[in-house]
Amino acid sequence: MLPRLRADGPSDGIPVWQREAWTAYRTLAKKLTELKSATGLRPEHIPGWDLRPGEVFAPADESRAWRTEIAVTAHMLLSGPVHNTETERLSRIALGSTGSGWSTRRLARGRGITPQNAHDIESLARRLIAEGLVDYAERRRHLMGAPELIRQLAQLVQGFGLNPSAAETLETWAWVLFTGGPAWDVWLLEPALDLDQQLDPEQRLLLSDAVLTYLAEATRPTVHFSPEPVVDVDSDAGPTWDVVA
């Protein structure tokens, strides 16, 4: 149960300096619930970090940790009404994020959300909806290990006349661009960022198309054959099953 907020007096169990954060938290939780109901927004739609308009590949270095915290906090809020150290851990695992930040610790320890955090999280949610919801969780599953895709990307990069890129660099490039989140190891990001900056628009489009084609194939539903019943009209035993050629 959340503590009660009183407009005309002290709030049960909430220090005065935390009331603003609790109010922001409750208001944001209500807005996210309404967005979930109206649009189908789910935790799976949250990318690994809060990428802002104009940022094509990754946020600036000084903003990356903060943007990761916004994404993890949004994932926690969309995952359910209970927020503690365990739900923080699960959200970090889901997004491939490590460590623990001030924003998520505050929420996990029952201290609400600052108004600025609430604004950033709501803006992220509305931006994801406006751009068309993407199942980033599914992308993360399929890009975690994709050796055939990486070989295809390596061939394309070689055809561009660029310096050969390590498999880890190509894998990180695809991961960062299509899961909207940081690399699983910090040291992998810079080589992938360097590769992205070397690409001209056409080359980037060709690599992106290769990844999108792979994801489309990987996420295509499997169609299972169901045999049609063949009815023996001379039998009282009912229909028998056979494969119709």
Q: Tokens 């045999």 sit at which residue?
A: 227
Q: How far apart are CA 6 and CA 9, in angstroms?
A: 5
Q: Residue 244's pLDDT is what?
A: 40
* CA–CA dist 109, 30 (Å, integer): 20
Residue 239 within a domain: no
As a whole number of angstroms, the distance between CA 201 and CA 206 comes to 9
23/121 same-domain check: yes
pTM: 0.79
Q: Is residue 60 part of a domain?
A: yes
* Residue at 182 is within a domain: yes
What is the pLDDT, as a whole number, of residue 5?
A: 40
Judgement on whether residues 122 and 177 belong to the same structural domain of the protein: no
pLDDT at 82 > cutoff 50: yes
Point out the domain boundary residue: 70, 105, 133: 133
Q: Are residues 98 and 176 in the same domain?
A: no
pLDDT at 15: 52
- 183 shares a domain with 76: no
State the average pLDDT over residues 85-112. 81
Q: Is residue 245 part of a domain?
A: no
Beta bridge partners of 115: none
Backbone angles phi, psi at 240, to 5 degrees: -115, 160
Q: Which residue has the higher pLDDT, 187 or 234?
A: 187
Distance CA 180, CA 139 (A): 10
List the structure tokens of 133: 């919801």
Residues 119, 36 share a domain:
yes
CB 13 within 8 A of CB 106: no
Q: How many CB atoms lie within 10 A of CB 158?
A: 12
213 assigned to some structural domain: yes
Q: Is 5 helix (H, G, I), strand (E, B) or coil?
A: coil
Distance CA 83, CA 62 (A): 27
Question: What pLDDT is recorded for position 203?
Answer: 96
Number of domains in the chain: 2
Percentage of residues in the chain with pLDDT exceeding 70?
Answer: 81
Does residue 154 fall inside a structural domain?
Answer: yes
- Structure-model confidence comparison of residues 35 and 17, the more confident one: 35
Tell whether 242 is covered by a domain: no
Q: What is the mean pLDDT of the chain?
A: 83
pLDDT > 60? residue 230: no
* Judgement on whether residues 157 and 129 belong to the same structural domain of the protein: no
- On whether residue 208 sits in a domain, the answer given is yes
> Do 162 and 100 share a structural domain?
no
> Distance between CA 98 and CA 68 in Å, rounded?
10
Q: Do 108 and 146 belong together in one domain?
A: no
Examine the fold and report which residue of 101, 133, 165 is the final residue of a domain before the chain moves on.
133
Domain that holds residue 196: 140-218
Q: Are residues 86 and 187 in the same domain?
A: no
Asked if the model's pLDDT at residue 7 lies above 60, the reply is no
Same domain, 27 and 106: yes
- Contact between 62 and 196 under an 8 Å Cβ cutoff? The reply is no
Residue finishing a domain among 133, 162, 192: 133
pLDDT in tens, 163-188: 878 999 999 999 999 999 988 777 88
- Is 205 found in the same domain as 154? yes
Q: Is 116 a residue whose pLDDT tops 70?
A: yes
Same domain flag for 64 and 172? no
